[in-house]
Amino acid sequence: MSASLNLRCARASLRQSSFQSRPFLAFARHASQSQPVKISEAAVPKVPSPSPTLDARPVPSAPARSRSAPDGTLYWVALGSILATPAIVYFYYEHRKEHMRVKKEQMLNDTLDINGRIGAVQEQDILALLAPKDIKFFEDYIGIQQDQIVAHVSRARAEAWTAGLQYPSVSALTWLRPYLAHHPAHDEVLQRIKAGASILDCGCMFAPDLRYLAYSGAPTENMTGFDIEGRFLEMSYDYYCDRDRFHAKLIKADFFDKSPDAPLKSLEGSFDIVWTPKFVHLFDRPTQIDVCVELIKLLRPVPDSLFLISQNGYPEAKEMQVRGPAGNSVLKSNTFFLGNESTSREIWAEVERRTSTKWDFSCRLLDLRTIGFHKDDGSEYKRITGHNLQWIARRL
């Protein structure tokens, strides 16, 4: 009984594996499409039926597939894909366009267009930007009465503009008022220059701060200013009407010129005070560190040498992208950094490390709106440029 059962199981297994083999299925499909072949019953060995107790199930043969018509499922999938392709492409490009729009808007929020006329002060607003002591400076030093100030300032701006000096500082009249007069170190600077100390004004343009010191009684012989545009320096004499009495040395110089005969090279170690208004902020953060390292080389390497900054800042310090031909002609890169108190201390700590020097450093961020120096007009330029970052670094 056991031997008979094993034999039947072996035959059933053989029968099942034979029916499932690929050659057999191929043969079956071929046979289904061919003329029937007569085979004598004697040629076919008779295999006993398996016992019902083995639960042997017949293996169904593969369904015959017609070669003349495609599979139904694949046909509809392919057709659906073809019909859906235009919609997929459309939605992809719409999503991509929206993504680029949002990205561009975000980038513009951190971008300033500093073409010359952006942020321009209108003639009717000039007097409103002047404090009473500024008006008195015009009257006493320049010899211009209050009712002539607007015409005098507008004429100087137009002259600079037509001469090709189409910088934002020209149209925004950053040279209209002395920023040093509102710097916490002003009184000390004035007293030290009166006592014989020397000062260097970096990127001085029309040199309004040096003129204000002269107006306050400081001798001009110990004053030096430099700017990359020599035309500003020449125009300043006509603007202030002081060619015969202002004896400061105004030098045309490129700060980044490091050749042996560069104008600033011979001045290293010459000054008690280095004053940098609206200058260092023109660069990205790493370059600002480089600039400060080079600027303090112009100071005497003695205690109480002063390094002073007055520049644009921002409460939430940020790198700003720059666009516009005026920006490309002034800056060394397409970004500049607007710092705050915290980042200023970090920058100066790096300056100390790189120069192996020690300084007493303090700074503050002044909202110019609070002192009447700034008037928003709804533009991004005005929103960003409404803060003045002031540094005092005293060598120990």
Query: Residue 27 pLDDT more than 70?
Result: no
Question: CB-side exposure of 180: number of CA atoms within 13 Å?
Answer: 27
pLDDT of residue 84: 74
Angle, CA of 254, 259 and 263, to the nearest 5°: 50
Q: Which of 337, 267, 332, 334 is nearest to 295 (CA)?
A: 267
DSSP for residue 139 = I
**Is the pLDDT confidence value at 115 over 50?**
no
Residue 39, pLDDT above cutoff 60: no
Cβ neighbours of residue 179 under 8 Å, at least 6 residues apart? 208, 209, 277, 278, 310, 388
Specify the pLDDT at position 103: 54
The answer to whether the Cα torsion of 118, 119, 123, 124 is positive or negative is positive
In DSSP terms, 112 is beta-bridged to: 322
C-alpha 226/C-alpha 254 separation (Å) is: 8
Of 141-145, 163-167, 229-233, 289-293, the one with minimum mean pLDDT is 163-167
DSSP 339: B
Domain limits, the chain = 2-54, 111-395
DSSP of 168-231 = HHHHTTTTSS-GGGGSTTHHHHHHHHHTT--EEEET-TT-HHHHHHHHTT--GGGEEEEES-HH
Tens digit of each residue's pLDDT (9 = 90 or more) over 97-111? 776 655 544 443 444
Position 377 scores a pLDDT of 67
Instruction: Please tell me the predicted confidence (pLDDT) of residue 323.
Output: 62
Q: Which of 229, 225, 336 is nearest to 275 (CA)?
A: 225
Residue 312 has pLDDT above 50, yes or no: yes
If pLDDT is split at 50, 70 and 90, which confidence band does 307 have?
A: very high
Helix (H, G, I), strand (E, B) or coil at 256: coil
CATH assignment of 111-395, among 3.40.50.12780, 3.40.50.970, 3.40.50.300, 3.40.50.150 = 3.40.50.150
Lowest pLDDT segment from 51-55, 210-214, 236-240, 293-297: 51-55
pLDDT digits (tens, 9 = 90+) for 235-284: 999 999 999 999 999 999 999 998 999 999 999 999 999 999 999 998 99
| Cβ atoms of 385 and 374 closer than 8 Å | yes
Residue 229: pLDDT over 90: yes
